[in-house]
């Protein structure tokens, strides 16, 4: 079962490029951007309050955090691209290896299960499953139309 889980994980990574590393670097970028904004706002306040000394320190600290945010954002983008290409390569290798529903081991297990249970019982179970799915879809899709209590009452004011 872990093969299927890995397959779905790789498909998700190939489409989105998401990984724990991307989440961490995105979090670092967000925190650094917030801190940079705070320092820049403090620097603007100090500039308005006192025209010099503390302003230089605030701008330098704000600039440092903006630089950290930009570096973290770039590393996040590079990591995402690397994840997408790695997942696509691994998916291509997996597809070319012929693993899937036509895997001989999987077909052998299916044949053994079919022989052990019996083909007539499996067909009957499949028919019951299709019927249950159709009934569930019909029940979920049904609209009640509302009851008498749900209708809005007319406004009596002139």
Q: Please write the tens of the pLDDT for every residue from 96-111.
A: 766 566 667 777 777 8
Q: Please write the tens of the pLDDT for every residue from 36-54.
A: 988 888 877 777 667 666 6
Q: Under 8 Å CB-to-CB from 38, ≥6 apart: which residues?
A: none
39, 89, 123 from 82: Cα distances, Å: 33, 11, 46
pTM higher than the cut 0.85 = no
Query: Using CA atoms, how far apart are residues 115 and 108, in angstroms rounded to an integer?
Result: 11
Question: Domain spans of the chain?
Answer: 1-97, 114-141
């Amino acid at each position: 079962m872990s093969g299927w889980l890995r397959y779905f994980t790789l498909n998700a990574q190939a489409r989105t490029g998401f990984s724990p590393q991307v989440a961490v670097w995105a979090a670092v970028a967000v925190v650094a951007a917030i801190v940079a904004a705070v320092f820049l706002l403090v620097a603007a306040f100090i500039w308005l309050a006192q025209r010099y000394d503390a302003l230089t320190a605030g701008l330098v600290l704000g600039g440092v955090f903006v630089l950290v945010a930009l570096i973290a954002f770039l590393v996040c983008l590079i990591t995402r691209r690397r994840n997408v290409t790695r997942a696509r390569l691994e998916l291509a290798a997996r597809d070319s290896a012929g693993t899937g529903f036509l895997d001989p081991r999987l077909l052998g297990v299916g044949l053994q299960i079919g022989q052990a249970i019996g083909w007539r019982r499996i067909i009957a179970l499949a028919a019951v499953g299709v019927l249950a799915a159709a009934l569930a879809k019909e029940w979920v899709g049904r609209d009640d139309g509302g009851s008498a209590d749900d209708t809005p009452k007319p406004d009596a004011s002139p």
